[in-house]
Chains A and B, each alone.
Chain A
Amino acid sequence: MAKVNMTPVKTKMPEQDPNIRNGNFLEVTTGYTPQMAYDEAMRCLNCKHKPCVAGCPVNIDIPNFIQSVTQGNIEEAYEIITRTNSLPAICGRVCPQESQCELPCVRGIKGEPVAIGRLERYVADYMLAKDNFTTDVTKPATKKNKKIAIVGSGPSGLAAASDLCDMGYDVTIFEALHKAGGVLVYGIPEFRLPKSIVEKEIERLKTKGVNIELNMVIGKTISIEELHDNEGFEAVFVGTGAGLPNFMNIPGENLNGVYSANEFLTRVNLMKAYDPSYDTPIYFGSHVAVVGGGNVAMDAARAAKRLGAEHVSIVYRRSEQEMPARVEEVHHAKEEGINFHLLTNPTQILGEKGWVKGMECVKMQLSDPGTDGRRRPVVIPGSEYILDTTSVIIAIGTSPNPLIKSTTYGLDTNKWGCIIADTETGQTSIPYIFAGGDVVTGAATVILAMGAGKKAAAAIDKYLDK
């Protein structure tokens, strides 16, 4: 066997030049070549205690798949990954690996950790690019002749559906929108996650036997109770996410030119408003201010820049250290010319003839940590100033949509509207209903939602086996 590659830094991922990519919606990073993948895979020490595996929310057997990559056996690597992860091309792109699998990597002690996410993506892309690649490597189980309904086709629903299908259940996903994928299709932009990749992954699930019904708003078109009582679904998994946008409740929020990030990104990503051959319009002024510091804020700001806005600013009330967005995304946003107004909080949006004209902000300073452990921002008196802007995108978080809660009698939720579910099984206050992902935790990550979907799938199997 060849010697381990002791280079202290990750094999660089090729990416589009910042000044070119901020004018298009093509993917920023272009993926490893076979040689790059080999070089990076050779950095893995194949540790006996595998700390990386514990860092992955779905416990992919990381050293083993990486060993297969070093041997050039990509199909085997893919088989190992998909034993526990049904959407590797997506996770390899959008997981915050720095705080998950790559965090405990031994190579990270004296240098950069192994680029596990990039390798996972390489393996998945290699397989997805194959002609006629549709069937899953997992063998189909014997049919159980039991129907399970999945509400929502985001990461948690897709993961649960995939596992339940493998176990032999008849699985139907109900999706309210006209495309499956949840936040993967309406939230995360093309330049970070190409929609063709999401489509291919979902197509793969369909060929396995997962049935997807679009344009079905559960709670309106049909209720969970009706699915169970009248339609023969023996268990229901709720993965409806946290799609209700929070607003700031400051004056001027209903002016023309003020968007929730959900609306802005839905127009851009799902409705393809950036493409003139699509009919959905979008408004972006010359100066766009995005309020918030998470990945959604970065996505909205970078999308606005690509649409042609001259000045795009991120307005965030804490400092860069506290930003919840991935370091890589903040870095990419800066490279693309996004301005950062840190320790800044909007107090009102100013209008002229009904349109946004500017935004009054105050400067903040950080005081002692609050109950959540984060240093609380407090207003610096007399620091008001007007930020020149013609549109405002609010990206300060989302909550679960109350529709399921209000139409499912007896389903318990907490004070934030999140469904109360057992952390191990996902079971709710109604025994046949399981839930997972953002609808339980509030807005979190794709991989955590997938992990919750997998756990619930296992628990549903146990529940129906009784």
Chain B
Amino acid sequence: MYKILEKKNLNNEVVYMKVAAPAVAKKCEPGQFIILRANETGERIPLTIEDYDRKEGWVSIVFQKVGKSTYILGTLNEGDYILDFVGPLGIASHTEGMEKVCVIGGGLGCAIAFPQAKKLFKNGAHVDIIAGFRNKSLVILEDEMKSNSTNYYLMTDDGSAGEKGLVTAKLKELIENGANYDTVIAIGPVIMMKFVSLLTKEYGIRTIVSMNPIMIDGTGMCGGCRLTVDGQTKFACVDGPDFDGHKVDFDGVLQRLSMYKEEENHQCNLFRGIE
């Protein structure tokens, strides 16, 4: 059982939780994730480690209430327990040799991109952050990202906060103005990562994406999270979650993510009393 030490609603949809998990906190590195199961009848869901404190023995997670399991998780409060919480899983992000980096976060992806940006910035790299959201009410981690970056650019689809437009437009602008990035790290919806990768390919800038396929065990025993990278099948839970954005078959990933859409919507609506 893993105690929830702190809970904050970052906006109407996104929740932050600090969870007591000393063994995970002791070992985790930016880019890694955990798998949790909220209760006995729950499913196992993967969530990226947003931050951690080895001494105090906690890791934090940030999740968006998008379906039944995340809604249930969102009903838990400080002092409550999460039944199972396992990690750190996946390979830690490689940040060696990165000097001038653009970190792009799309929506919840900002929480996943944050630990990498923080690590790079602390190590003295030039870090530009482009954070994209649908609108002002969904903006998260603005202060944290600002204080862990050289430049912070906030983008919204409707212009209600920061600049109006997509993250790709801002990235193109920065590149055109001579930003000269050695690496772009893009984390967010698959479709965003796809378009960032298509753009950076034109400029020949190395691009790392963090994949989020469907997972169960997260230890490499089922292949549920498999995707095609450079024509080869990889398991995101053990070979990733980070991959070369120029080699990922994004359309294949999108297709596999839709596998349980109907079932998920139905379960979620039942839980929320809509059906």
Contact residues of A with B, CB < 8 Å? 176-178, 214-217, 220-222, 243-245, 247, 249, 253-257, 259-260, 262-263, 266-267, 271-272, 277-281, 283, 354, 401-403
Contact = CB atoms under 8 A, between A and B. Distances in A.
Given A221-B27, A253-B233, A279-B68, A401 B221 contact: yes
Contact of B222 (A178, A221, A245, A277): A245
Given A279-B68, A280-B43, A178 B84 contact: yes
A254 B213 CA distance: 12
Contacts of A249: 233
Contact of A278 (B41, B89, B260): B41
Contacts of A271: 43-44, 216
Interface string B221-254: 1111011100001000010000000000000100
A211 to B, nearest CB: 15
Interface in B142-194: none
A244 B234 CA distance: 12
A243 B223 CA distance: 10
B142 to A, nearest CB: 32
Given A217-B89, A271-B43, A271-B44, A176 B219 contact: yes
Identify the 3 closest CB pairs spanning chains A and B, nearest first: A263-B222, A354-B255, A215-B86
A177 B37 CA distance: 11
A245 B221 CA distance: 6
A176 B86 contact: yes
A263 B89 contact: no
A281 B221 contact: no
Interface residues of B, number: 40
Q: Which of B23, B89, B227 has the most chain A CB atoms closer than 10 A to its own CB?
A: B23
B87 A217 contact: yes
B83 interface: yes
A11 B55 CA distance: 63
10 contacts: A178-B44, A178-B83, A216-B86, A221-B27, A245-B221, A256-B256, A260-B222, A266-B217, A277-B41, A281-B267
A263 B224 contact: yes
B264 interface: yes
A263 B220 CA distance: 10
B96 to A, nearest CB: 19
A279 B238 contact: no
Contacts of B258: 256, 354
A49 B24 CA distance: 55
A283 B260 contact: yes
Contact of A244 (B44, B220, B264): B220
A254 B68 contact: no
A279 B258 CA distance: 17
Interface in B77-121: 83-89
B5 to A, nearest CB: 18
B275 to A, nearest CB: 14
Contacts of B264: 281
Contacts of B202: none
Contact of A256 (B42, B88, B259): B259
Given A254-B256, A283-B260, A354-B255, A262 B86 contact: no
Contacts of B220: 243-244, 401-403
Interface string B17-33: 00000011011000000
A279 B216 CA distance: 12
A247 B234 CA distance: 11
Given A220-B87, A221-B86, A263-B223, 19 more contacts: A178-B83, A215-B85, A220-B88, A222-B23, A222-B26, A243-B219, A247-B233, A253-B233, A254-B252, A256-B255, A256-B258, A262-B222, A266-B222, A271-B44, A272-B41, A283-B260, A354-B256, A403-B219, A403-B238
A31 B156 CA distance: 65
B23 A279 contact: no
Contacts of A281: 43, 260, 263-264, 267
Contact of A254 (B42, B69, B227): B227
Nearest to B263: A281
A256 B227 CA distance: 12
B86 A254 contact: no
Given A254-B233, A278-B41, A220 B89 contact: yes
Nearest to B266: A281
Contacts of B89: 217, 220
Q: Which of B84, B88, B219, B222 has the most chain A CB atoms closer than 10 A to its own CB?
A: B222
Contact of A178 (B27, B86, B252): B86
A216 B84 CA distance: 10
A215 B260 CA distance: 26
B190 to A, nearest CB: 14
Nearest to A245: B223
A401 B223 CA distance: 12
A282 B138 CA distance: 32
A353 to B, nearest CB: 8
Contacts of B216: 263, 266-267, 271, 280
A280 B260 CA distance: 10
A458 to B, nearest CB: 29
A257 B259 CA distance: 8
A267 B223 CA distance: 12
Contacts of A402: 220
B159 to A, nearest CB: 35
Nearest to B37: A178
A184 to B, nearest CB: 15
A214 B260 CA distance: 28
Contacts of B84: 178, 214-215
Contacts of B23: 216, 221-222
Q: Which of A215, A216, A243, A271 has the most chain B CB atoms closer than 10 A to its own CB?
A: A215
Nearest to A272: B41
A262 B221 CA distance: 7
Q: Which of B68, B228, B238 has the most chain A CB atoms closer than 10 A to its own CB?
A: B238
